[in-house]
Amino acid sequence: MARWYNDPGLRRLVKERKAGDLSRREFLARLGGTAAGAAAVSFAGAGPARAQKKVVVTTWDTEPNPSTRAAMKAIVEDFHKLHKDIEVRAEGMGWGDMDRKLQAAMAAKSPPTASHTQTYVVTSFRAKGLIEPVDDIVKAIGEDKIFPSVLRWLKYPDGKYWGITHAWGAEILGGRGDYLAGTGVNPQSWKTWDDWLRDLPKLNKAPQHYGLSLAGIPFFVNEDVYMWTGANGGSLFDAKGQPALESPQVLGMLEFWKKLKPYLPPGWASHDYLETLSAWATGKTAQVLMWGRTAGYIDQYAPPDKRNPDVFQVWPKTHGPMGKAPLTQFDNEPWVIYADAPADEKAAGREFLKFFFKPENYRKHCDSVPVHILSIFKSDFQDPSYLNHPERKRWKPWLDAQLKWVEMGRAHPLLVCNPSDMLVPWIGDVAAAPILADMVMAVVERGKDPKAAAKEASDKISRDIIGKAKG
Amino acid sequence: MPSAALVLAFTIFPVAYNVWLGFHAKHSLRATSAWVGLDNYAQILADTDFWRSVWLATEYAVASTALQIVAGVAGALILHRRFPGCDFLRGVALFPYMIPTVIAVFVWRWLMNDLYGVIPYVLGALHVPFMPDAWLAHSTIMLVLIILSVWTFFPFVLVNVLARLQTIPPELYDAARVDGASAVRQFFHVTLPQLRNVLLIVLLLRGIWMFTKFDVPWLLGFGGGAGEAIRTLPVFTYQRSFTYYQAGMGAALSNVMLALLLMAVTIYFVAFPPEEDHNDA
């Protein structure tokens, strides 16, 4: 605590107080500001750095798991060795926390320097002037080194990139291979929703296990709404960005969901996403819509002899009667730079992100959750040192399935059924609101007529989101 | 001066700012806002979802408060007696109230889970009739919310009632027994009148707190899916601000909530004016 004496401001304040030049009230009032600044510096042990003012870069990412935090910490420490004038504070948090914190920060015009976000959020933020292009970062990384299917969702009609993906993944349909015995089901033959519905009863042995597990929380219901609408040849928005929920394709999606309901756990509407993964890992469900991170749940909950892709297989997604090809979700979470952050912090943040994407650093990030955080670089998928990671080797069919989606071009970001949907300015607001999920629940759980539910949802989007956006 | 500044900073200013914000359209991600006058309030009053959330909040508040009072009074009457282990039980009875709400709700979510929950499993094993397939489904999640809330918050009632019971002069009961009053008549004619004031206060406080409770219904239902059936007014208000990104509308909703509560409290004190305590028979 004696370090406070090294601060000239505090020393002068105490001297004035002792000399009687300051009243107690004045001393206390000035002490608050002076002492807080001095304490922050002294407790941080940054005495020597006071002579060299550091630019503080704040990054918020959505990978709070311990292994990714450790990787990020190592990357930041290496960056500090090369940039002694910059201090990076990298904070990991869940998506729910990120959303709330960002709202508060941006409303106060005090955002972090950079953060992860969702692709549809980039559209909304760009429309509101809240973020800046990142062409310099993409160029430094090497535009031609990145999967085109990653970059395509971040380049807007102005020709600029408005985010740079930290890692990608594609959602896959997981199925229990050990539940096929004796059923006569061959999932690899599935092409259409009718094929899937035909075989679901054979995979459903309630209450021991159910045919399919879905999450009922609004965010995850939204995922299934747009994927199945896209698989049915439709979109949630028309050419002008207005809701197109009364289209035959969306109504067909709602009717399809009603037909799935008998094969879902009875409490599915209250299940969150992670519950569906543990249900699959523990054998309570034959199928689940999942991501690479599910491998961790299998290791945690499944019997040791079953922790392999022969049991936990990838089965094909199917398309609806009005569609020609299935659609899956592309998890393409980009880093964005916030326009309201101070200029020096933004410049330093860009330097950090260029460093982050250097091969030796980026590999640490990807290896932290190997089957889920997939590299944006094409070359890594030809690189034995990347592919031979034990987890990537073990779950190779999952990796191959995700790559195939990307190569097919039918992996789209959330709510983007058609590529043009990316430009709908309020797509992020629609994604955050529970309107689409309420529509599904009204039809599937409360028996409402799909047309009436779709109309009600359309009216709410028009009034509560688009109407407010224009106001 | 410092205390006045604290009161201003933490009480008057937030309420005044909220009232001001209710007259504006403000996107939650932007620092700017636009004056819209009474448009927010007009939209609220015309919104069927708003009225549904008021109904759900009222249903939740009335049912859970009433059951908390019943459970709290019953528990206090039991613990007011001296018997072996009563001191230990008094500690245990407080336990639900001491657990952080988030832990209590998550434990109940798992207890009632249709795939793994202990409670559905035991009820099924005992072949209890008329049990739902899933407790956390649309049709039953409100019941779970009420039960969970009663379990969590009844100790507050218990403690307050128990404290009052211990100040009731035993001579009142002696006199009642001499007059031939049974235990039930003693409860209604001696105990309940003596508990009147504390019950009125507890009823008021619990009623307000349950009507404005956000954390329990949000953590149980996450505002959607089956949670749509417990989208009470506080949850609806939160969603307007943080999922629809409409800070102005959210502010207007919370102002409406405040107005509704002020009306209810006014009616309450007119209907049930506090009385002075009389310890005479």
The CATH number of whichever domain residue B161 belongs to comes to 1.10.3720.10
> Is B30–A106 a contact, with Cβ atoms under 8 angstroms apart?
yes
Residue of A nearest to B2 (CA): A25
Q: Which of B212, B176, B203, B211 is nearest to B73 (CA)?
A: B203
Give residue A342's identity as a one-letter amino acid code.
P
**What confidence tier does B281 reach under pLDDT thresholds 50, 70, 90?**
very low
> Is B226–A216 a contact, with Cβ atoms under 8 angstroms apart?
yes
**What is the overall mean pLDDT for chain B?**
92
User: Across the strands, what pairs with A319?
Assistant: A192
Query: Is residue B32 scored above 90 in pLDDT?
Result: no
Torsion sign across C-alpha atoms A109, A114, A117, A120 = positive
Q: Which of A241-250, B168-177, B239-248 holds the top average pLDDT?
A: A241-250
Residues of B in contact with A465 (CB under 8 A): 244
Residues of A in contact with B243 (CB under 8 A): 218, 432-434
* Whole-number pLDDT of residue A208: 94
Best of B113, B115, B121, B236 to disrupt the A interface by mutation (most A CBs within 10 Å)? B115
CATH topology of domain A52-168+332-394: D-Maltodextrin-Binding Protein; domain 2 (3.40.190)
CA A174, A179, A182 angle in degrees (round to 5)? 140
**What is the overall mean pLDDT for chain A?**
91
**What confidence tier does A36 reach under pLDDT thresholds 50, 70, 90?**
low
Residues of A in contact with B28 (CB under 8 A): 103, 107
Residues of B in contact with A468 (CB under 8 A): 25, 27, 244, 246, 249
Of B29, B223, B244, the CB nearest to A106: B29
Average pLDDT over residues A157-170: 95
Residue B21 lies in a domain: no
Residue of A nearest to B1 (CA): A25
* Selected residue with higher pLDDT from A23 and B44: B44
Query: Is residue B28 scored above 90 in pLDDT?
Result: no
- Which range has the worst mean pLDDT, A236-245, A346-355, B137-146, B185-194? B185-194
**What confidence tier does A3 reach under pLDDT thresholds 50, 70, 90?**
low
Using an 8 Å CB-CB cutoff, list residues of chain B that contact chain A: 25, 27-31, 34, 36, 43, 109, 113-116, 132-138, 141, 221-228, 239, 242-247, 249
Query: Is residue B50 scored above 60 in pLDDT?
Result: yes
Q: Count CB-CB contacts under 10 A for residue A67.
A: 15
Q: What number is the ipTM of this complex?
A: 0.89
**What confidence tier does A104 reach under pLDDT thresholds 50, 70, 90?**
confident
* Whole-number pLDDT of residue A5: 61
Residue of B nearest to A429 (CA): B244
Q: Which of A102-111, A124-133, A244-253 holds the top average pLDDT?
A: A244-253
* Whole-number pLDDT of residue A49: 44
* Whole-number pLDDT of residue A45: 46
- Which range has the worst mean pLDDT, A12-21, A115-124, A185-194, B248-257? A12-21
Average pLDDT over residues B82-94: 90
Coil/strand/helix, residue A187? helix
Query: Is residue A238 scored above 90 in pLDDT?
Result: yes
Query: Is residue A47 scored above 60 in pLDDT?
Result: no
| CATH classification code of A170-330+410-470 | 3.40.190.10
Give residue B189's identity as a one-letter amino acid code.
H
Of B29, B34, B243, the CB nearest to A128: B29
> Is A267–B137 a contact, with Cβ atoms under 8 angstroms apart?
yes
Residue B132 lies in a domain: yes
* Whole-number pLDDT of residue A13: 74
Token pair 């002069």 is found at B169
Residue pair A370/A393 in contact (Cβ under 8 Å)? The answer is no
> Is B225–A218 a contact, with Cβ atoms under 8 angstroms apart?
yes
> Is A429–B239 a contact, with Cβ atoms under 8 angstroms apart?
no
Q: Which of A186, A141, A187 is nearest to A164 (CA)?
A: A141
Range(s) of the domain holding residue B216: 34-271
Residue pair B146/B63 in contact (Cβ under 8 Å)? The answer is yes
* Whole-number pLDDT of residue A144: 95
* Whole-number pLDDT of residue A18: 77
pTM: 0.86
Residue B22 lies in a domain: no
Q: Say yes or no: A265 contacts chain B, CB-CB below 8 A.
A: yes
- List CB contacts of B14: < 8 A, sequence separation 6 or more: none
* Whole-number pLDDT of residue A361: 97
Residue of B nearest to A471 (CA): B25
* Selected residue with higher pLDDT from A26 and A384: A384
Q: Say yes or no: A125 contacts chain B, CB-CB below 8 A.
A: yes
Predicted confidence (pLDDT) per residue in A169-220, tens digit: 999 999 999 999 999 999 999 999 999 999 999 999 999 999 999 999 999 9
* Distance to chain A for B72, nearest Cα, Å: 30
Of A216, A218, A429, the CB nearest to B245: A429
- Which two three-digit tokens encode residue A305? 């002899």
> Is B29–A103 a contact, with Cβ atoms under 8 angstroms apart?
yes
Residue of B nearest to A466 (CA): B244
* Whole-number pLDDT of residue B221: 95
**What confidence tier does A443 reach under pLDDT thresholds 50, 70, 90?**
very high
Query: Is residue A46 scored above 50 in pLDDT?
Result: no
Q: What is the rounded radius of gyration, in angstroms, for the C-alpha atoms of chain B?
A: 23
Query: Is residue B106 scored above 50 in pLDDT?
Result: yes
Residues of A in contact with B245 (CB under 8 A): 103, 429, 432
> Is A102–B29 a contact, with Cβ atoms under 8 angstroms apart?
yes
* Distance to chain A for B4, nearest Cα, Å: 15
* Selected residue with higher pLDDT from B105 and A296: B105
In three-state form (DSSP H/G/I as H, E/B as E, the rest C), the secondary structure along chain B is CHHHHHHHHHHHHHHHHHHHHCCEECECCCCCCEECCCHHHHHHHHCHHHHHHHHHHHHHHHHHHHHHHHHHHHHHHHHHCCCCCHHHHHHHHHHHHHCCHHHHHHHHHHHCCCCCCHHHHHHHHCCCCCCCCCCCCCCCHHHHHHHHHHHHHHHHHHHHHHHHHCCCCHHHHHHHHHCCCCHHHHHHHHHHHHHHHHHHHHHHHHHHHHHCCCHHHHHHHCCCHHHHHHCCHHHHHHHHHHCCCEHHHHHHHHHHHHHHHHHHHHHHHHHCCCCCCCCCC
Predicted confidence (pLDDT) per residue in B128-139, tens digit: 999 999 999 999
Domain total in chain B = 1
Distance CA B168, CA A373 (A): 67
In terms of residues, how long is chain B?
281
- Which range has the worst mean pLDDT, A36-45, A191-200, A272-281? A36-45
Cis bond leading into B155, ω under 30°?
no
Distances from the Cα of A190 to the Cα of A316, A317, A411, B187, angstroms: 7, 8, 18, 70
- Which two three-digit tokens encode residue B216? 């329990």
A86 φ/ψ angles, rounded to the nearest 5 degrees: -125, 140
